[in-house]
């Protein structure tokens, strides 16, 4: 069960899905929304599981929703599901809550009989649909929790889902501690780093060059900065822009940004106001092979994540692991689970979140010091390749699914 599929920003889901497919699991993908990205990653084309799109808005497929409800109301689990839905609705009186129950009725009516388990990726809305469907159909269910879905839903909802799901996996120790405090049995929560498919992120070949190092001291020695992330509040781009504007005029640099998002126009206007328009290339969403090429062409990766006013925050951004896998030095903020990957001064550099002045000072120091960037890049690469290979996580998922006897899953990894 996914909120949307496929999505460029969710490569960690696609790589896990393909890995389970390769291990012989029969998968069906259930998406609550149709895709909005214009591009696809190559891994999406390797996934052969059928995809079912539930009604995104109930009124748009009213006859399908009515038929699903008519079938669902005759199922033995309907009363239990209806009671759970009404209890939730009293505490969350929103159209979204009604939509999730309607989608569950459709899914319960249409799900093939051979499906043995439901698996929801994300603890918020996909897990709600999985929970109601499991009650309707009498199927076991489990869930993977990540970042926004952990921190933007109320504790009562997390507690009740943790009490009913067979197990939950989550991708950071930071999130695991929080969820174990809420779980009736802490052992139901398993830490599972996504890691990287290192066959897709092979180490780049060493480059022999007699050119002077990029230290920002002249236009032909400009430092190429790269940032990959959605243009949303929690990514902190409105902190990064003033930090860039505060860099000394004597430093030569440019920034390439990859990703889309609702704040795109606002941030571009902020960059123009700060006089940065000519130094930033806004590339928009790109496919994985295009981003990989940028990692290899850049000198320093920067990500200024912070906790948004809504409570939304990153987990452990995959883009940091991707950048480090290519030996690219990373400058990030010490927020959420990022320190689980980057040890400040050893495998990268960290600054406090929400501190443009501190970020500017760190940027200036790293731009001017190519030897330090190279050292941090090598250490980060060694850490990712030694400790964040995705195979470990897939082995854990494989064991969890087989322990439950599930060979045919509805959902996505």
DSSP string, 136-197: HHT--EEEEE-SHHHHSS-HHHHHHHHHHSS-EEES-HHHHHHHHHHSSSGGGEEE----B-
| Adjacency order of strands within the sheet including 141-145 | 51-53, 26-31, 408-411, 117-121, 141-145, 168-170, 189-191
Round to whole Å and give the CA distance between 230 and 49: 27
pLDDT digits (tens, 9 = 90+) for 291-317: 999 999 999 999 999 999 999 999 999
- Where are the CATH 3.40.50.2000 domain residues in the chain? 11-194+390-411, 219-387
**Contact between 377 and 328 (Cβ < 8 Å):** yes
Place of tokens 């920003």: 9
Q: Does domain 219-387 have CATH number 3.20.20.70?
A: no
With 0-12 CB in 10 A as exposed, 13-18 as middle and 19+ as buried, what is 64? middle
Q: Could you give the residue ranges of the DSSP H alpha helices within 279-390? A: 288-297, 318-325, 356-367, 370-387
Phi and psi for 126 in degrees, rounded to 5? -60, -40
Round to whole Å and give the CA distance between 118 and 331: 39
With 0-12 CB in 10 A as exposed, 13-18 as middle and 19+ as buried, what is 94? exposed
Query: Which helix (H) or strand (E) is 64 found in, with range?
Result: helix 62-72
**Domain 11-194+390-411 is in which class?**
alpha beta
| Furthest-apart CA atoms within the chain: distance in Å | 75
Please give the pLDDT value at position 199.
87
Collect the ranges in the chain with pLDDT lower than 50: 406, 411-413
Residues 6 or more apart whose CB falls under 8 angstroms from that of 345 comprise none
């Amino acid at each position: 069960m996914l909120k949307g599929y496929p999505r460029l920003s969710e490569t960690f889901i696609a790589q896990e899905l393909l890995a389970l497919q390769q291990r012989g699991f029969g998968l069906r993908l259930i998406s609550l929304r149709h895709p909005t990205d214009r591009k696809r990653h190559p891994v999406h084309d390797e996934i052969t599981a059928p995809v079912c799109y539930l009604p995104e808005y109930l009124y748009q497929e009213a006859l399908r929703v009515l038929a699903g409800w008519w079938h669902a109301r005759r199922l033995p689990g309907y009363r239990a599901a209806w009671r759970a839905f009404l209890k939730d609705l009293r505490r969350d009186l929103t159209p979204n809550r009604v939509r999730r129950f309607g989608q569950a009725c459709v899914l319960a009516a249409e799900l093939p009989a051979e499906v043995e388990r439901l698996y929801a990726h994300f603890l918020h809305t996909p897990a709600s649909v999985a929970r109601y469907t499991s009650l309707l159909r009498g199927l076991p269910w489990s869930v993977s929790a990540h970042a926004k879905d952990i921190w933007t839903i109320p504790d009562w909802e997390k507690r009740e889902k943790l009490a009913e799901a067979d197990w939950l996996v989550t991708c950071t120790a930071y999130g695991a501690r929080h969820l174990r405090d809420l779980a009736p049995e802490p052992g139901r929560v398993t830490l599972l780093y996504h890691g990287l498919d290192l066959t897709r992120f092979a180490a780049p070949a060493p480059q022999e060059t007699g050119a002077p190092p990029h230290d920002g001291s002249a236009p032909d020695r400009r430092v190429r900065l790269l940032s990959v992330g959605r243009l949303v509040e929690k990514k902190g781009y409105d902190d990064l822009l003033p930090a860039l504007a505060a860099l000394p005029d004597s430093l030569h640099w440019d920034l390439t940004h990859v990703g889309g998002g609702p704040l795109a126009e606002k941030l571009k206007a902020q960059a123009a106001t700060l006089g940065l328009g000519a130094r930033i290339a806004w590339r928009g969403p790109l496919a994985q092979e295009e981003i990989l090429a940028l990692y290899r062409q850049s000198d320093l990766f920067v990500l200024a994540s912070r906790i948004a006013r809504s409570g939304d925050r990153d987990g452990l951004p995959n883009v940091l692991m991707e950048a480090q896998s290519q030996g690219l030095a990373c400058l990030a903020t010490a927020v959420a689970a990022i320190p689980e990957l980057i040890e400040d001064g050893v495998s990268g550099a960290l600054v406090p979140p929400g501190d443009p002045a501190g970020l500017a000072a760190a940027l200036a120091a790293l731009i001017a010091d190519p030897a330090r960037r190279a050292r941090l890049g090598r250490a980060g690469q060694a850490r990712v390749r030694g400790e964040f290979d995705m195979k470990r996580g897939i082995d854990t998922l494989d064991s969890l699914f087989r322990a439950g006897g599930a060979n045919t899953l509805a959902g996505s990894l």
